[in-house]
Amino acid sequence: MRKSVFYGGLSGASLGLVGSATLSPNKESMAPNMAIWGSVGALVGATLGYLFFMDDPENRELPSMMPSGGSNRFRPEDLAPINKIESATITPTDSKKYKLESGPLPDHLKGKVQTPFIIEHEIPERVEHLENGKAITVEQHKAWEVDYE
């Protein structure tokens, strides 16, 4: 608010000074014209800065995403615990299996160490419904699993 009024007054005063100096009929009346019209310009500019301050979308009060109830503090009871999410079994849309190559094993480890595989799953987008009537959208993503065969 202060910046809006200040810069509006400064702009109005500048326009009043320049306009009165340019349009003054003679040199004797230039200083009084600049004082009068500079003051009028500052007053009009500050008033316009005040009036248009609320119309600036960056300065409007936006609705809060915090839970209502007087307090803007986070309350854990507003969220459902993770273990209480009601969800169906997640079925990957696509899975790829990659064998991990390892270097040569010493003789005493051969046959004892299994070959690891990385399985990459493509998990589709889904909506998780919480107990409190809210829902969470989980975007499509990848998950990796390590398996030994």
Q: What is the pLDDT of residues 81-114, one digit of tens each?
A: 554 444 457 788 888 888 887 778 788 887 777 7
CA atoms of 56 and 140, how far apart (whole Å)? 37
Report pTM. 0.36
Q: How far is CA 6 from CA 9, 14, 47, 49, in A?
A: 5, 12, 10, 8
Residue 126 three-state SS:
strand
Exposure string of 49-82, with b = 16+ CB inside 10 Å and e = fewer, is beeeeeeeeeeeeeeeeeeeeeeeeeeeeeebee
Q: What is the pLDDT of residue 31?
A: 87
> 121-146: per-residue pLDDT in tens?
998 888 888 777 788 888 888 988 88
